Structure 1
Amino acid sequence: MSKVWTLAKTTLREMLREKIFFVVIVIAAIMISMSFLLGALSFAEQKKILADFGFLAVQIALLGISLFSGAYLIAKEVEKQTCLLILSRPVTRDQFILGKVFGVLALNTLLMVLLGIILSFLLGVWNEPKQWLAFTEICLSLWFESSVILAFAMWASLVVRPVLALSAGIVLFLLGHWLGDLAFFASKSQEPMFVTIVKGLHWIVPNLYRLNWKSAYFLQEGVPGKDVVWMVAHMTGWFIIYVLLTNFSFRRKDIV
């Protein structure tokens, strides 16, 4: 595991030097600032607006890092064949992939903690134990969501071109959040084929719609414990599946 952690630390340092990291930070900071200013215009809805926009800023920041890193990080290494320098040493392809994945996850964790601290101060949840717990669970759901998208985009980048992998990651994210609406429309239409397709999608697409907690309502009322347990199990399962697929594809890929 020491080789994996060394690769992860190297990847983290490389990502911190990338322009995309600072672009994401600036966009998130602007969105949080806008939410604070918009909330100031309506004192009655101040916390609601700040929570909605703030969590959305954290989600966009984490997804931005995950999508671009997943789609281009390994593909760039393969295209320039810089990965050969690492693989020529006693490092397996599986260790190489895990090092890259953990490096980006470390960056996402750092970003989530940074933005989470800023947002928590603006929302004033530090003195509210119930809200602080809910705030942590919401941020954790965004982190898990971005982790699954990262693993999927990284696998897709080994199968198709990076721009298509990026697009596929966006489609997976949207489809995962639309599954609830699709199930509702399927039940209303009563079309057997449509119902069957939607049921099938629930098994082959991460059910991201069940993690729609980024709102003032869940911040105030809290997230049910059983839903948190389901989230951890469901998202961890999908993350492992996509990482295994990435390892399998990278082992079979000719990079010489």
Structure 2
Amino acid sequence: MPVLEVFYMRASPPSYAVLALLKHTKTPYKATELDYFGGQQFTEEHAKRNPQKEVPVIQDGDYILCESVAILQYIADAYGKGLPDLYPSDPKRRGTINQRLAFNLCNLYPSVSMYTFGDVFGAPSTDQIKSKALRSLSVFETILKDQGTKFAAGEKFSIADIGLLQTAICMEAADFDFSPYPLIAKWYETCKTQGAMWEDFKAIRDDLHFFLKNPPNKDALAQLDKKRDASFQQK
């Protein structure tokens, strides 16, 4: 039986969310790293897996899937049978998890990652970016306050927490001050107790911290942009 393969990059928190869930569900997998600055994500080979030329992507036999949220949902359904709370079948519980994942994907993660690491990857931070990130964090703090539970979507650890952890990782890697958001800080520390999967999140935290302290030069970013632009030109 083929082993599920994950295509990822070191500087990609969504990739590590997928790797963490695979470890949490004890799913055998092969991890294939793509060279970010080498532009491996822009090759025709990778475009066949994902026309957006992004990561993460999984290949499970003949089945290929991209978009981290969809991958988390698939892995929980396909390989999390012994962990039903990861992605419960009850429509209301599942709906809450889906909402948290959508909130993170569309609001929290992009705003916080841009605020904490935009400078590193060529997108200078502005007051507007900072304001949007802090608003998103206030919303997450309010969600945790109103819900009053241990985890982001209830009393049980779920893929909602794994999705949201990629945002918290960016904050810790950038030495962000969690003190204005005590419930987020408490939730984050609780998530760190969830077994072996934390090893993958520690890895991306350390990678991001390294990138912050050792940012790529402007020439490297310019070359990467050229590769990206060239890869999307119609032939």
Name the TM-score, length of structure 2 as normaliser: 0.32
Of Structure 1 and Structure 2, which has the larger fraction of its residues in helix?
1
Structure 1 or 2, whichever has the larger Rg, is 1
Name the TM-score, length of structure 1 as normaliser: 0.30
Of Structure 1 and Structure 2, which has the larger fraction of its residues in strand?
2
